[in-house]
Amino acid sequence: MRLTKRWMRALAATAVVAAVLAAAPAAQAVPTYTATGTVTDRATGAPLPGACLTLFNAPDRVIATRCADEQGRYTFSGLTRTIQPRLRAQAAGHAELWWPAEPDYYNADPLRYPTDGSTTIEANLALLDAVGGFAGRITQPDGSPAYASEVTAVSTVGVWRAKAPTDSDGRYRLGNLPVGSYRLAIGPRGWDPTQWLPGTGNPPVVTVFDVTPGATTTVDGRYLTTTGAYEGGVLTGTVTAATGAPVAGACVTAVSVYSGQEAATACTDATGRYRITTVSYNLGYKLRVNADGYPEQWAPNAVDSRNASTYFPAWGQDKIVNVALRTGGGTVRGQITDYPDATPALTNSVRVEAVDGSWSAWTEAVDGRYQFDRVPAGDYRVAVKPLDRTIQYHPGKPTPAEATVVHIADGEVTTVDEQLVPPGAVEVTLTDAVTGAPVKGCARLFQAQEVACGDTGTITFPKVWATGTTLESLLVDAKPTHWTRTVSSVRVVTGETTRLTVTVEPGAALETSVVDARDASVPPKTCVYAVSAEKLATTPMRREATSYCSDTSGKVRIGPLPPGPVQLLVVPPAPYGAQWYTENGGTGDRRVAEIYSMQVGQTVTAPPIRLDLAGKLTGRVKDQAGSPVDTCVQPVGLHPDFVDVPPVRACATGGSYVLDRLGPYRWPLGADGRVLSSGAVLAPGWSGNVDNRFEATLVQVTAGTTTTVPDIVLPRGAQIRRLDLGTAASQGGVLEVYQPTTGDRVWYPVGVESVITVPLPAGPVLLRLLPNGGKPCWYVGPRTFLSARAKQGPKPVTLTAGQVIDTFRLAPGDTCGPVPVTRALPPRPGPQG
């Protein structure tokens, strides 16, 4: 069984609501979208003017209401990405409907920010004038109530379905259903149904039930086998007066936060104790308390459900919730108005909070008006949070410290009106840190979640809401020519323009385009990896993206990059094949790929990347005894700019591999080594059964076909069981192994404690240690040779097949030193396809 998608969406939406609206300062002006549509009669298709649409963020939380015009059209503007409300439509003579075509909040889908690049959702609703429903009781095989279940009605026509939860007595009610025939199923709440109703007979009978207009059909059901999923939650505690005296006969009702429906009720005994034992432990509940002589109260100290706390019963233990009932309190009310010439905020949340933090509550202002009842006497601050703006404190201040303190007295009405403040603005001037020249780029305000760009060195955010206690942060992005930069502690002030001058460090850049080699058409998005062309690259070169991809016009902008030589590995989507780039077409041999010497402050414009159709290689990897070896095969060598794992590779199953999406060129093939469970060590190998990429036999790929490659036979490898790090032993670190001829990594970097898992080839290797908290160093031999080797570079360690070194000393300051390495590439081979 699995959680249904709709159930998971409900959980996520509720969490977002709680975090965004009920908390302190949230995001500022965020990207917005519009929900619009038409309300019609489903039978006739005629519009329903005057139908009213309401957005809910929870069963008890209304965001806004709009009514349809003469054409049945409605519009909600200013919805934000972080708020995903549910939409209800009501019209005289029709049953209410929840978008897209559901009977209630529990079944409705939330509206979401469009993912197709638009900013408008078309949400049409066709209302019914004839509906009915089902009700009944679901029990376990022994007749006890199945109180953590759901009943799902599935139409016999199409795929329409709706569900309803059971309460503490196993009862459910599912109304507002279109007239028609249905099958009913039951299952644990939040999971797919497990059984059809009525569930009797052998084999069990599946019955079709009819919904008739205005009628509720009773359908009871019993599980064939006991399902205790999520049953066993317990909510318990005491209800007392403000004096601490127990309140007998107070009734506590658990209300589901996900459906808004009552789940269970229990009343207190003479000691004021209550115990609710029929709630689910996979749900959240709010507790409503009613007692003679006291106004209704929600746990622990709220006057309504929206301000109540949510409690989650846990398996195997009681969830204790004590409530002290109170009386008295004052009223706070007022009018919220927007600043002159404003586009009104979609909705405004208002919060009152005691100065000493002892009590707080929030509500939404409806048509600009709000009211709080039964506010405990004391000193308060009043805050307003428009949906798409920052919070402000009465009267129009950005922080609580600047707010006016309002005193609330028992039995009195206090009026606090508030006008929303106008926005400020942010203007950013970008300059080159070296030349001082204006720089074209974009910037992002983190809190505001807004992005703006400028072609002349100036970026303007004309409408940004004031920052309060949390200041803005600005990310400046001037790729590909400059490195990004973050500027923190940016204060935005109401009605003022905050001006910043930001210098950005120049880098090197490369621009090219991608075309189909056959007809120069623009292929789909193609990604390019910039790879250092140094012979012995040991760390990823400085960069701000792993790869760079083409836009809809085929253009690729690569950068910023540090100075130095780079090559380009191109990995396009099907049906094209990967390639190392040359200005005359692709190649599979990195040695003949184009090398660009990048220089800071300069942009290289390269000829187009011409994509050829892909082919496949298939083959086997074996050991010297002919047994298959499951390992991975790649045609590009291991390199730090690939973040260890090459973007083009395939792993063998049963020793067989298929390497697809390769361009039609000649490629070397490298196979990872392996330490087998038997203890045998197989060294990495290359096509032609050699130990490095330069000596590998190049394998020709043919577009559109699969070529069988001769077997790669992995030779016996060598192994180091333990590293002696000398005085650095307590630090630990990472070991890297390189092939001295090609500069490729022999194996992936591993922690020094895992050196035994590294299969090493026979022949020379270079060892590099990255001690934790220390400087990288290379193996240079015993200390007596350290000074002599300081100008000669790392000393190769020559291994033999099957060799096992029990302990190898790689001690910083002794056998391991920070010596220079040769980075120039060897002579390039002649042209190859």
Number of domains in the chain: 8
Domain boundary among 693, 714, 735: 714
Q: What is the pLDDT of residue 31?
A: 65
Please tell me whether residues 464 and 413 are part of one structural domain.
Answer: no
Among candidate residues 654, 681, 714, the one where a domain is terminated: 714
Same domain, 459 and 566: no
pLDDT score, position 790: 54
Per-residue burial over 212-249, b if 16 or more Cβ lie within 10 Å, else e, is eeeebbebebbbeeebebbbbbbbbbbbbbeeeeebee
Please provide the DSSP assignment of 468-519 as one string.
Answer: -SS-EEEEEE-TTTB--EEEEEE---TTSEEEEEEEE-B-EEEEEEEEETTT
Structure tokens at 500: 């910043």
What pLDDT, on the 0 to 100 scale, is given for residue 202?
61
Find where tokens 């040769």 sit.
822
Write out the residue range of the structural domain in which residue 119 sits.
Answer: 5-127
Residue 664 shares a structural domain with residue 775: no
- 34 and 117 in a single domain? The answer is yes
d(C-alpha 407, C-alpha 401), whole Å: 16
Using a 10 angstrom Cβ sphere, with 0-12 exposed, 13-18 middle and 19 or more buried, the burial of residue 724 is middle
User: Would 339 be classed as within a structural domain?
Assistant: yes
% residues pLDDT > 90 (the chain):
80
Check whether the bond before 246 is cis (ω within 30° of 0): no
Collect the ranges in the chain with pLDDT lower than 70: 1-31, 200-204, 783-791, 823-828, 830-833
Residue 447 is assigned to a structural domain of this protein: yes
Do 150 and 80 share a structural domain?
A: no
User: Which pLDDT value is given to residue 218?
Assistant: 96
Residue 227 lies in a domain: no
Instruction: Name, in order, each residue with C-beta under 8 angstroms of 105's C-beta and a sequence gap of 6 or more.
Output: 56, 59, 86, 88, 98, 259, 260
- Give the pLDDT of residue 227: 87
Asked if residue 176 is part of any domain, the answer here is yes
pTM here is 0.72
* Whether residue 707 is found in the same domain as residue 730: no
Give domain status of residue 829, yes or no: no
The pLDDT assigned to 203 comes to 65
How confident is the model at residue 188, as a pLDDT? 92
Query: Which pLDDT score is estimated for 2?
Result: 33
CATH number at 217 reads 2.60.40.10
Q: Are residues 710 and 728 in the same domain?
A: no
Q: What's the distance, CA 622 to chain centroid?
A: 41
Is 728 inside any structural domain? yes
φ, ψ at 16 (rounded to 5°): -60, -45
**pLDDT tens column, 361-376:** 999 887 889 999 999 9
Q: Residue 832 falls within a domain, yes or no?
A: no
Task: Say if residue 13 is in the same domain as residue 123.
Answer: yes
Predicted local confidence at residue 58, as pLDDT: 86
**Dihedral, CA atoms, 541, 544, 549, 552, nearest 10 degrees?**
-150
Residues 422-455: tens digit of each pLDDT: 999 999 999 999 999 999 999 999 888 889 999 9
Please indicate, yes or no, whether residues 709 and 749 belong to a single structural domain of this protein. Answer: no
Same domain assignment for residues 140 and 155: yes
Classify residue 828: in a domain, yes or no: no
The answer to whether residues 731 and 630 belong to one domain is no
Q: What confidence score (pLDDT) does residue 50 get?
A: 95
Count the neighbouring beta carbons within 10 Å of the beta carbon of residue 830: 6
Residues, the chain = 833
Contacts of 44 (CB under 8 A, 6+ apart): none
**Pair (188, 270) in one structural domain:** no
Give the CATH number for residue 489: 2.60.40.1120
Which of 594, 611, 628 lies at the terminal end of a domain, its last residue?
611
